[in-house]
């Protein structure tokens, strides 16, 4: 495009006309007005040339369509006129429509743009449900675009084509001379719009950020529910685990200990406010679908609202920055700096801001950096490197505060994935029952109000009716989930993503599948097929055919690409191979467009890539494809090699959940235990093994039995096999466990004198008495023989106590009627300071004694130690267990002397009076490490009891160091207001694991780090 004509040497100004297809008449008007402008301004020295894609574009290949148009015509234009009515156009992968990308591109280059929005009525045929749905989506995205311009753009509205012509004539007369007149020409400025100053640039960046993050598609797609809603309309405040615990609270021997508060769930505001007063970084951990990204969006938008920033602990306006960590790419010299990657993110969103601006902003006092999705980096070594990069950025920008999110499987200190920067971790909790109800009420209201109102009639009345429908739907599903028969669904409803899927299905079908797998299955079928069919629209491909294509592609991304985004051309090539095998084939480009625009499963990511709208859908289909590939020779061996890689955890769980053939499960277990991968499993791998056994719909134990009873099986594998059989827990599985013990095949070497069992089947090991130097007094203390529980009390055993109180254990109630127990409890409580008053505060013994974390999936698995139990509740448990055996005081909490002797007494040196070992295990093993104890947050939570044989005492007492602190019988000191605990927990440093270390807590405390272990006097025991 030339800048001057040859006849009069007038300067040519190229004016881009950008618009979607619904304003064709206005495009013609603009073309005419621009082309004839010079007739009325012959002395201006300017001549305007309208630039439209249909007149200035030409055929070309090698890039996306909008990318070609940008190079051919958009980048050469001097200014633009944007015209919009009811459409925003087709998503380009960079912007929601071509016209939007064009005007944003010119604006980012500092070129002038005038934007016009029509207010004219649109004649919509409401009988065509497909067009209505498309119309609603277009309007919603157009409104989002328009809202994103508020604050730094003067937008113009018109109500008729004649008014548009008049407005455009007037506005061109005002602006063109100012932008491109003689003064500008004299300065030889082609682009006359001045560069943004720092403040204006930051405002532009924040507006772009708000546009990107400001809306939430409630089930992962705006198409699924026909609407996209503002985050503020639907966000339910998540609960995060929060604690004021510090690392100096425990001390050896009689040194003072800092007082302690129990963990409580906190709001996002409370967590951020607390963390940033003490730490520069907040690490947010959540399960798949828990709302990690939604939480970051909430943090971003709330802090961008200057009126709310004080709620999050900031005293002044906040500079907010956001970046998805999966986009962090390593170059020849390593990772770029934070300012450089933020500048690069802006380039992808057609906002040109140099990294020097970001460097300055990050140095300002109130800066918040949100880094999303550490777990989405598939390679463990790369994830470790990214953690180091984050550490460097925290050290470099000392004025900034950082938030990093990850799945728990993606952040594990035991794998070396650790942020060294001073930080606090917060775990996203499942929705409570109240939060579920609030979310559903908000969701249905947004869904029904998101529908198209009638063109005639009382819109206020329509809104009232829609809200009533929403309330009815919400009330119905809440009542459904509250029924006892739907307890398993209620647990799934605690996961925000799954609750959204439930809401989506309930809105149209009032139907909910009964399991996690069936929820994903139903959601996919709904998006790909059912939603269209119920509206009388034939889907592009039937759901089963679409999934025949998508499942292999999902596994291809999982296995070969090892990342969540795929090059568009490569994905379409992969899809085309599969589509060509179907009876009803179609072009892959058309299929992908349908997946983006209608099904909503795919998103155009950047200029050249696709991602699945939610990672869990891709993982689900990858797991389904694993099962389909089972018939291939040797494929089961390939699946086994993926075991233990956290990138594969979810696909493997989805795979095993679809194995409805017990022989396949048996073959998988045989291959797994024949594989080197099971020689030494990490705690995370053991958790996965248990999950696979639990989630398999059909199971056989032949392979497990054969391997367990094989004398050549190693000690580690014996432990893993026993855990699998105990998880299956059927009579035939438990019979194999008994057979193994009877045959004496265990390779565990212990100095065991005698073992006894209580009425629940828990093991107690005889600890021979002796004399030792007690750490507190430095004087000799003598301890008699006693039986000590091999493990701390587990959830499984503690729940039987709660069930007994709730009249669900008739065998125990027959032995000890609940009223008899209640009277004995009151007698016990009357002699203990504070116990009776504590009981009176809650008449229901079930509510009084239930673990505070019984519904918290971080801590509530059967074989995990029970936590959230007060000292009073531990005493009540001991009384119950004793009464079951006919002796009121048979079981007790150990006192500190007994506990210390059991944990570290040197019973192999009986002729000497010595202090206890430093740690429970034999001294030659040395100091704590991650194979001997659960500590230092290596696992991020409690582990099932018995997972650390290397850390057991010589007699075989497990977890005397780490996992949970254990209540003892004693007062902590002479004040007699706090009880003493021993042993250390999963988050403590190594010093807390010493046999002499102590902690003091109020006996009412029900912390997530507190459990208890029981002893039994030797005189009342039988071997």
Condensed to tens digits (0 to 9), the pLDDT of residues 497-530 reads: 889 889 988 988 888 888 889 999 988 988 888 7
310 contact partners, CB below 8 Å, separation of at least 6: none
| Residue of 751 and 600 predicted with greater confidence | 600
pLDDT at 675: 95
For the record, the structure tokens of 19 come out as 């618009």
Q: Say if residue 367's pLDDT is above 80.
A: yes
**What average pLDDT score do residues 415-421 get?**
90
Q: Report how far residue 770's alpha carbon sits from residue 198's, in angstroms, rounded to the nearest whole number.
A: 75
- Tokens 């890039």, located at residue: 63
**What average pLDDT score do residues 211-233 get?**
52
User: For 141-162, what is each residue's pLDDT tens digit?
Assistant: 888 788 777 656 788 999 999 9
pLDDT at 212: 77
> What backbone torsions phi and psi does residue 471 show, to the nearest 5 degrees?
-60, -40
Band of pLDDT at residue 189, cut at 50, 70 and 90: very low
The single-letter DSSP state of residue 860 is: -
* β strands within 520-601, DSSP E: 565-567
Give the dihedral sign, CA 910/916/920/925.
Answer: negative
What is the residue-averaged pLDDT of the chain?
87
Residue 806 burial (10 A CB sphere; 0-12, 13-18, 19+) = middle
Q: Report how far residue 875's alpha carbon sits from residue 831's, in angstroms, rounded to the nearest whole number.
A: 12
Sheet holding 763-767, edge to edge: 755-757, 763-767, 786-789, 1015-1017, 891-892
Q: Report how far residue 672's alpha carbon sits from residue 641's, in angstroms, rounded to the nearest whole number.
A: 8
Highest mean pLDDT among 246-250, 427-431, 432-436, 474-478: 474-478
- Tokens 């809306």, located at residue: 215
For the record, the structure tokens of 10 come out as 């007038």
pLDDT at 534: 63
- As a three-state string, the secondary structure of 97-152 is CHHHHHHHHHHHCCCCEEEEEECCCCCCCCCCHHHHHHHHHHHHHHHHHHHHHCCC
Residues found in the chain: 1023
Band of pLDDT at residue 186, cut at 50, 70 and 90: very low
Residue 836 burial (10 A CB sphere; 0-12, 13-18, 19+) = middle
Q: Say if residue 817's pLDDT is above 90.
A: yes
Q: Say if residue 1021's pLDDT is above 80.
A: no
**What average pLDDT score do residues 359-375 get?**
93
pLDDT at 184: 58
* Cα–Cα separations (whole angstroms), residue 959 to 35, 180, 411, 618, 998: 84, 78, 23, 39, 16
For residue 999, the cross-strand partners are: 981
**What average pLDDT score do residues 268-296 get?**
91
Q: Report how far residue 942's alpha carbon sits from residue 451's, in angstroms, rounded to the nearest whole number.
A: 47
User: For 863-908, what is each residue's pLDDT tens digit?
Assistant: 999 999 999 999 999 999 999 998 877 899 999 999 999 999 998 8
User: For 566-577, what is each residue's pLDDT tens digit?
Assistant: 999 999 999 999
Contact between residue 484 and residue 260 where contact means Cβ atoms under 8 Å apart: no
Percent of the chain scoring above 90 in pLDDT: 61
Say which range, 179-183, 266-270, 847-851, has the weakest mean pLDDT: 179-183
Residue 492 CB neighbour total at 10 angstroms: 22
**What average pLDDT score do residues 451-475 get?**
87
* Cα–Cα separations (whole angstroms), residue 210 to 205, 348, 581, 875, 973: 9, 15, 43, 54, 55
Contact between residue 336 and residue 344 where contact means Cβ atoms under 8 Å apart: yes
685 contact partners, CB below 8 Å, separation of at least 6: 643, 644, 677
Q: Say if residue 1's pLDDT is above 70.
A: no
**What average pLDDT score do residues 487-496 get?**
86
3-state secondary structure of 572: helix
- As a three-state string, the secondary structure of 954-1007 is CCCCCCCCCCCEEEEEEECCCCCCCEEEECCCCCCCHHHHCCCEEEEECCCCCC
Helix H or strand E encompassing 765:
strand 763-767
**What average pLDDT score do residues 581-603 get?**
87
User: For 738-793, what is each residue's pLDDT tens digit?
Assistant: 999 999 999 987 776 788 999 999 999 999 999 999 999 999 999 999 999 999 99
Q: Report how far residue 504's alpha carbon sits from residue 439's, in angstroms, rounded to the nearest whole number.
A: 12
**What average pLDDT score do residues 204-230 get?**
59
**What average pLDDT score do residues 338-358 get?**
86
Contact between residue 357 and residue 201 where contact means Cβ atoms under 8 Å apart: yes
Say which range, 1-15, 114-128, 409-423, 824-838, has the weakest mean pLDDT: 1-15
Q: Say if residue 1023's pLDDT is above 80.
A: no
Cα–Cα nearest to 644, from 686, 610, 674? 686
For the record, the structure tokens of 550 come out as 């998508």
pLDDT at 752: 67
Q: Report how far residue 252's alpha carbon sits from residue 250's, in angstroms, rounded to the nearest whole number.
A: 7
Helix H or strand E encompassing 319:
strand 319-324
* Cα–Cα separations (whole angstroms), residue 801 to 874, 885, 988: 11, 14, 29
For the record, the structure tokens of 833 come out as 């300071």
- Read off the pTM: 0.74
Contact between residue 429 and residue 859 where contact means Cβ atoms under 8 Å apart: no
Say which range, 200-204, 482-486, 1016-1020, has the weakest mean pLDDT: 1016-1020
| Terminal CA-CA length for the chain | 98
Band of pLDDT at residue 245, cut at 50, 70 and 90: very low
Band of pLDDT at residue 644, cut at 50, 70 and 90: confident
Cα–Cα nearest to 613, from 335, 152, 293? 293
Contact between residue 961 and residue 983 where contact means Cβ atoms under 8 Å apart: yes
Please state whether beta strands 330-331 and 334-335 pair in parallel, antiparallel, or not at all (unpaired): antiparallel
Q: Report how far residue 683's alpha carbon sits from residue 703's, in angstroms, rounded to the nearest whole number.
A: 22
Band of pLDDT at residue 183, cut at 50, 70 and 90: low
Q: Report how far residue 886's alpha carbon sits from residue 602's, in angstroms, rounded to the nearest whole number.
A: 65
**What average pLDDT score do residues 678-698 get?**
94
Q: Report how far residue 942's alpha carbon sits from residue 985's, in angstroms, rounded to the nearest whole number.
A: 8
For the record, the structure tokens of 51 come out as 């630039």
- As a three-state string, the secondary structure of 340-389 is HHHHHHHHHCCCCCCHHHHHHHHHCCCEEEEEECHHHCCCHHHHHHHHHH
Q: Say if residue 953's pLDDT is above 80.
A: yes
pLDDT at 128: 64
pLDDT at 219: 43
Instruction: Output the DSSP codes for 1004-1018.
Output: T---TTEE---EEEG
Percent of the chain scoring above 70 in pLDDT: 91
**What average pLDDT score do residues 637-642 get?**
94
Band of pLDDT at residue 696, cut at 50, 70 and 90: very high
Radius of gyration (Cα) for the chain, nearest Å? Answer: 34
């Amino acid at each position: 495009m030339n800048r001057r004509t040859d006849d009069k040497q007038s300067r040519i100004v190229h004016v881009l006309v950008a618009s979607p297809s619904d304003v064709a008449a206005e495009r013609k008007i603009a073309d005419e007005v621009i082309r004839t402008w010079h007739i009325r301004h012959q002395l201006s020295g300017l001549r305007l040339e309208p630039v439209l894609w249909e007149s200035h574009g030409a055929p070309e290949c090698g890039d996306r369509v909008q990318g070609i148009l940008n190079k051919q015509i958009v980048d050469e234009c001097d200014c633009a006129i944007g015209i919009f009515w009811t459409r925003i156009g087709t998503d380009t992968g960079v912007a929601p429509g071509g016209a939007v990308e064009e005007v944003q591109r010119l604006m980012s280059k500092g070129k002038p743009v005038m934007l016009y929005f029509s207010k004219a009525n649109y004649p919509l045929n409401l009988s065509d449900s497909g067009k209505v749905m498309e119309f609603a989506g277009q309007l919603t995205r157009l409104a989002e675009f328009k809202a994103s311009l508020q604050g730094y753009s003067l937008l113009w509205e018109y109500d008729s084509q004649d008014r548009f012509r008049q407005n455009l004539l007037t506005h061109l007369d005002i602006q063109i001379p100012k932008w491109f007149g003689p003064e500008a020409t004299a300065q030889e400025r082609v682009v006359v719009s001045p560069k943004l100053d720092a403040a204006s640039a930051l405002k532009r960046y924040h507006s772009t950020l708000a546009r990107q993050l400001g809306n939430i598609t409630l089930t992962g797609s705006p198409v699924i529910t026909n609407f996209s809603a503002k985050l503020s309309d639907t966000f339910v405040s998540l609960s995060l685990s929060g604690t004021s615990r510090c690392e100096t609270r425990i001390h050896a021997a009689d040194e003072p200990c800092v007082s302690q508060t129990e963990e409580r769930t906190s709001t996002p505001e409370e967590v951020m406010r607390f963390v940033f007063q003490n730490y520069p970084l907040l690490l947010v951990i959540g399960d798949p679908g828990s709302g990690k990204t939604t939480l970051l969006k909430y943090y971003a938008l709330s802090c961008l609202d200057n009126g709310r920033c004080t709620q999050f602990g900031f005293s002044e306006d906040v500079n907010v920055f956001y970046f998805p960590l999966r986009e962090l790419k390593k170059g020849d010299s390593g990772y770029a700096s934070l300012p450089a990657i933020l500048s690069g993110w802006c380039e992808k969103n057609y906002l040109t801001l140099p990294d020097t601006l970001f460097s300055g902003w990050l140095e300002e006092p109130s800066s918040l950096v949100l880094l999303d999705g550490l777990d989405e980096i598939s390679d463990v070594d790369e994830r470790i490197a990214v953690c180091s990069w984050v550490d460097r950025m925290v050290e470099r920008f000392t004025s900034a505060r950082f938030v990093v999110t990850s799945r728990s499987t993606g952040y594990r200190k035991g794998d070396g994935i650790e942020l060294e920067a001073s930080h606090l971790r917060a775990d996203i909790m499942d929705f409570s029952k109240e939060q579920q109800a609030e979310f559903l009420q908000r969701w249905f209201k947004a869904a029904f109000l998101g529908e198209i109102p009638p063109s005639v009639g009382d819109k206020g009345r329509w809104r009232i009716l829609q809200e009533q429908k929403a309330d009815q739907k919400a009330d119905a599903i809440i009542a459904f989930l509250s029924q006892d028969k739907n307890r398993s669904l209620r647990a799934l409803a605690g996961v925000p993503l799954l609750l959204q899927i439930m809401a989506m299905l309930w809105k149209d079908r009032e139907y909910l599948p009964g399991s996690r797998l069936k929820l994903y299955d139903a959601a996919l079928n709904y998006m790909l097929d059912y939603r269209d069919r119920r509206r009388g629209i034939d889907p592009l491909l039937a759901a089963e055919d679409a999934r025949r294509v998508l499942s292999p592609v999902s596994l291809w991304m999982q296995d070969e690409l090892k990342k969540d985004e795929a090059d568009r051309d490569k994905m379409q090539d992969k899809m085309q191979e599969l589509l060509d095998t179907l009876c009803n084939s179609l072009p892959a480009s058309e299929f992908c467009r349908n997946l983006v625009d209608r099904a909503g499963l795919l998103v155009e990511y950047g200029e050249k890539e696709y991602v699945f709208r939610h990672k869990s859908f891709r993982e689900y289909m990858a797991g389904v494809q694993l099962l389909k590939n089972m018939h291939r020779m040797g494929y089961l061996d390939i699946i086994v090699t993926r075991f233990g890689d956290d990138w594969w955890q979810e696909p493997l769980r989805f795979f095993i959940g679809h194995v409805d053939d017990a022989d396949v499960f048996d073959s998988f277990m045989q291959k797994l235990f024949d594989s080197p991968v099971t020689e030494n499993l990490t705690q995370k791998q053991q958790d996965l093994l248990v999950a696979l056994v639990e989630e398999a719909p059909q199971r056989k134990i032949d392979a497990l039995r054969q391997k367990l009873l094989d004398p050549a099986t190693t000690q580690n594998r014996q432990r893993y096999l026993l855990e699998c059989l105990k998880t299956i827990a059927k009579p035939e599985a438990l019979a194999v466990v008994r057979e193994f013990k009877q045959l004496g095949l265990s390779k565990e070497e212990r100095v065991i004198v005698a073992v006894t069992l209580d009425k629940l089947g828990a093991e107690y090991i005889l600890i021979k008495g002796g004399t030792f130097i007690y750490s507190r007094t430095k004087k000799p203390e003598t301890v008699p023989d006693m039986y000590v529980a091999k493990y701390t009390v587990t959830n499984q055993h503690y729940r039987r106590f709660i069930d007994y109180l709730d009249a669900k254990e008739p065998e125990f109630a027959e032995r000890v009627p609940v009223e008899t127990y209640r009277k004995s409890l009151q007698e016990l409580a009357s002699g203990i300071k504070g116990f009776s008053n504590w009981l009176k505060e809650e008449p229901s013994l079930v509510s009084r004694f239930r673990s505070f974390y019984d519904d918290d999936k971080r801590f509530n698995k059967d074989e995990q130690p029970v936590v959230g139990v007060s000292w009073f509740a531990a005493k009540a448990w001991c009384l119950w267990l004793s009464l079951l055996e006919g002796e009121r005081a048979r079981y007790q909490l150990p006192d500190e002397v007994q506990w210390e002797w059991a944990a570290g007494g040197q019973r192999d040196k009986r002729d000497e009076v010595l202090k206890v070992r430093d740690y429970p295990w034999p001294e030659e093993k040395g100091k704590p490490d991650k194979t001997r104890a659960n500590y230092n947050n290596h696992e991020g939570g409690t582990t099932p009891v018995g997972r650390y044989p290397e850390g057991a005492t010589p007699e075989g007492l497990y977890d005397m160091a780490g996992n949970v602190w254990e209540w003892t019988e004693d007062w902590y000191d002479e004040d007699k207001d706090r009880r003493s605990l021993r042993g250390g927990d999963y988050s403590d440093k190594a010093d807390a694991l010493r046999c002499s270390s102590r902690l003091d807590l109020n006996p009412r405390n029900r912390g997530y780090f507190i459990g208890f272990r029981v002893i039994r006097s030797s005189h009342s025991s039988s071997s």
